[in-house]
Amino acid sequence: MTAAERSEAYILSHIDEEGELLTALDRDAHVNLLRPRMLSGHLQGRILKMICRLFRPKRILEIGTYTAYATLCMAEGIADDSLIYTIEVNDEMEDFIMKYISRSPAAGKIKLFFGDAMQLIPTLNETFDMVFIDADKRFYSAYYDLAFPIVRKGGIILADNILWNGKVFDTPPPSDKQTAGILEFNEKIRRDARIEKVILPLRDGLTVIWKK
C-alpha cells in the first residue's frame, strides 16, 4: 500500500460509513458499468453530505448524475422540504439510477432530468443555493456561466476534478480537450472577482466557490 492508500484507508475507517445502499451501488457500478471511478465514492460522498448539513441548501443543482451516488449523499444531508435537481445526458443510466433512488428514503427529494445540461439549465426556472458541477470537463466554463445567474447571492458552486489527475500542472499541459476545459475553467475562477474560492485537495480536487 502506498502512503496515500494507507491515509485513505485510515480516514475511511474513522468517518461515517456510506451505508448499505451506497455500498451496493458502488459494487454494482464496479461490476457492471464503464468508468465506475467517475462516481464520488465514500469520502467525497460523506463530505458532500456534511456540506449540506452545514450549509442547509434548499435547492441544489447537480450537473452530471452518472449513478446518482453523489445525489443520494446530498439528499441524505438536506431537509425534507429541500430538493436536488440532477441532470444526466446519458439516458441509458436510467435503470441503474432508478434502482438505487427508488430504494432510498430520500427519493422524494430528488428530481432527475435526462438531457443535455446546457439545454436544460435555462429551462429550470429555479434559484439554487448550491450547484455541483461534475459533467463533461470540456464544458465546465459553459456550465459555470449558465449556472452562475441562477445561484443566489451567498450561494455556493462546487466543481469536481479540477486537478484532472494532475494533468493541469503537467508542463507543457496535455493538449486534449478535457484538460484544456479544466485549465480554462480554473483560470476563469481564479480571475472572477464576483466570487470567493478555495480548492480542497480532496481526491481529484474540489473547488468551492462562494457567490458574493
Ligand X SMILES: C[S@@+](CC[C@H](N)C(=O)[O-])C[C@H]1O[C@@H](n2cnc3c(N)ncnc32)[C@H](O)[C@@H]1O
Q: Considering only residues 10, 27, 79, 90, which one is a binding residue for ligand X as defined by CB under 6 A?
A: 90
Provide the β-strand partners of residue 114. Answer: 88
- Rounded to a whole number of angstroms, the minimum distance from the CB of residue 89 to ligand X is 4
Look up residue 93 and give its DSSP letter: G
Q: Which stretch binds ligand X (CB under 6 A): 23-31, 36-44, 144-152, 182-190?
A: 36-44
Question: Which span (7-15, 18-26, 75-83, 110-118) binds ligand X, by CB under 6 A?
Answer: 110-118
Measure the CA–CA gap between 202 and 107, rounded to whole angstroms: 27
- Regarding 100 and contact with ligand X (CB under 6 A), the answer is no
Span of 6-14, 134-142, 174-182, 197-205 interacting with ligand X by CB under 6 A? 134-142
Round to the nearest angstrom and report the end-to-end CA distance of the chain: 43
The distance of Cα 162 from the centroid of its chain, to the nearest Å, equals 11
Q: Which is nearer to ligand X, 154 or 202 (CB)?
A: 202
Kindly tell me which residue out of 57, 64, 181, 205 binds ligand X, with binding defined by CB under 6 A.
Answer: 64
Q: Which of 22, 25, 39, 97 binds ligand X (CB under 6 A)?
A: 39
Q: Is the dihedral of CA 185, 190, 194, 196 positive or negative?
A: positive
89 binds ligand X, rule: CB under 6 A: yes
Among residues 191, 92, 104, 185, the alpha carbon closest in space to that of 145 is found at 185
| Residue selected from 46, 66, 156, 181 as contacting ligand X according to rule CB under 6 A | 66
CB neighbours of 77 closer than 8 A, spacing ≥ 6? 48, 49, 50, 51, 52, 53
> Which cell numbers hold the place of 51?
456540506
Taking CB under 6 A as the criterion, the residue among 8, 28, 136, 204 binding ligand X is: 136
* Nearest alpha carbon to residue 131 among 68, 209, 67: 209
Question: Can you read off the three cell numbers belonging to residue 154?
Answer: 451567498
Q: Which is nearer to ligand X, 76 or 134 (CB)?
A: 134
Q: Is 164 in the site for ligand X (CB under 6 A)?
A: no
Residues near ligand X (CB under 6 A): 38-40, 62, 64, 66-67, 69-70, 87-90, 116-118, 134-136
